[in-house]
Amino acid sequence: MAKKTVPSEFIIERDDEKCITCQVCCRMCSNDVHTYDPELDEVNSDSTKCVGCHFCEMLCPTGAITVKRNPSEFKINANWTARVINDITKQAETGGVLLTGMGCDRPYPIYWDHILLNASQVTNPSIDPLREPMELRTYLGRKPDRIELESSDDGPGIKTQLGTQLKLETPILFSAMSYGSISLNACISLARAATEAGTLYNTGEGGLHRDLYKYGQNTIVQVASGRFGVHKEYLEAGAAIEIKIGQGAKPGIGGHLPGEKVSEEISQTRMIPEGTDALSPAPHHDIYSIEDLRQLIFALKEATRYRKPVGVKIAAVHNVAPIASGIVRAGADFVAIDGIRGGTGAAPTVIRDNVGIPIELAIAAVDSRLREEGIRNQASIIAGGGFRNSSDVIKAIALGADAVYIATAALVAMGCHVCQKCYTGKCNWGIATQDPYLTKRLNPEIGTRRLVNLLRAWSLEIKEMLGGMGINAIESLRGNREQLRGVGLTDTDLKLLGIKPAGEAW
């Protein structure tokens, strides 16, 4: 069968009465969906090439274009769904691994939508955040078992020596997205926004572009298995170091940046030849045990003279709790956990959709395990993987996280429409691409403003929810699961989350 048999996912509808054949859609679509026919003086659209990014729809000056899902359906079969049939057809035609971008989109339970927050009424009055101070400032890093105070002529002070802490004005950080997987303009937007909002962003495993070193105090530099772009100045530049063991979208496998994305500047940043594939092996070839991990943690601390916190990022997997316990005992100052809905620039679809567990269950499991072992204070927990709004954030903190990572939400704030074709390098929004013609579409000043607005909006909403619970500091909510109740969850779900069912009092 020579003809391509996978139906188009989207249908382009064009209103001929509105279309003025300005050809904006022809010039702007990186997927060559729209073409102009000079003989007929009309624009035609090939729906089979459409990825559903809606860029042409947004730019059309007359609103003549509408992008819709293809209504064509296969015969209904609970086992042999249209998605299954199309995937088999694609692999029969190509003989390759199916790739995708972003996080898992399968209809697994989203536990955030089944968790409800508490609110104060009579005995514990609520707090008005407009009239009373609310504290969102968060400190990440190892805390001592106890604090000793001392008195002096200047007044009381802390005698206990505290480790280096990362100060966040809001408990939200920008998660790891490497230069290469996203454009430099996107990286600049994230760095500037983190600096302006008083939080941090993560370089990902692609090194640090020379133009971003000035934002170092708001940067977490990542050390991954490929060691791309890792050198002394890189380690010194960041406020903290994160060792990447795994990520939620592809636990247990490595990374791959295609050679066509490795431009001259990316090759310099990653310290690899221009045009060559950047392959990150699945394991770190110097880490095969907790003891090996401990050696790397302290090697990085030694290299930076113990002035920077060193953390470890892992994917949320079935035994995430004992793994996190080992990481804390190995000397990590924070543990970043990435759930199954965590995003990526490219991953095998079968891995993204079938490996790992939801971040909600992972937070509860890790927080409980560390508390049971009496080591919860020795490391902070950063949770990531599909955080969509401020209520997800505050529920994660109540479950036990110290702060959360956001990535997909940040990209959406910059214009992303989650078409999941990041791996093609043809992002029309100028985000997940290295094409100079496309990267210009993302203005770093506008991107920065939109990201700062997002963090400000979420922070204001968090204050409102805290005030409603009668709590004036985010640290008082951390791990306070009595403020949560489950609705529509099984007894097993409630047990794993460590929360009571809705309707049950304290």
The single-letter DSSP state of residue 431 is S
Using 50, 70 and 90 to split pLDDT, how confident is the model at 159? confident
211 burial type by CB count under 10 A (0-12 exposed, 13-18 middle, 19+ buried): middle
CATH T-level topology, domain 10-100:
Alpha-Beta Plaits (3.30.70)
Rounded CA-CA distance 176/311 in Å is 13
Q: Is the pLDDT of residue 354 over 80?
A: yes
Max CA distance (Å), the chain: 90
User: Residue length, the chain?
Assistant: 506
Query: Which residues 6+ apart lie within 8 Å of 63 measured at CB?
Result: 15, 18
Whether 142 and 379 have beta carbons less than 8 Å apart is answered as yes
Q: Is the pLDDT of residue 378 over 70?
A: yes
pLDDT at 2: 55
> What residues form DSSP beta bridges with 157?
150
* DSSP 3-state of 189: helix
**For residues 367-382, average pLDDT:** 98
pLDDT at 149: 86
* Model pLDDT for residues 56-89, shown as the tens digit of each residue: 999 999 999 999 999 999 999 999 999 999 999 9
Using 50, 70 and 90 to split pLDDT, how confident is the model at 4? low
Q: Outline where DSSP puts E strands in 191-248.
A: 201-202, 219-223, 240-244
CATH T-level topology, domain 169-501:
TIM Barrel (3.20.20)
**For residues 419-428, average pLDDT:** 94
pTM of the model: 0.95
Using 50, 70 and 90 to split pLDDT, how confident is the model at 6? confident
The percentage of residues in the chain with a pLDDT greater than 90, rounded to a whole number, is 89
> What does the domain layout of the chain look like in residue ranges?
10-100, 169-501
* Model pLDDT for residues 464-491, shown as the tens digit of each residue: 999 999 999 999 999 999 999 999 999 9
Q: Which of 307, 286, 311, 261 is nearest to 436 (CA)?
A: 261
Query: Which residues 6+ apart lie within 8 Å of 87 measured at CB?
Result: 98, 349
Calculate the alpha carbon distances from 102 to 420, 457, 477 in Å.
5, 24, 30
pLDDT at 3: 61
**For residues 8-30, average pLDDT:** 95
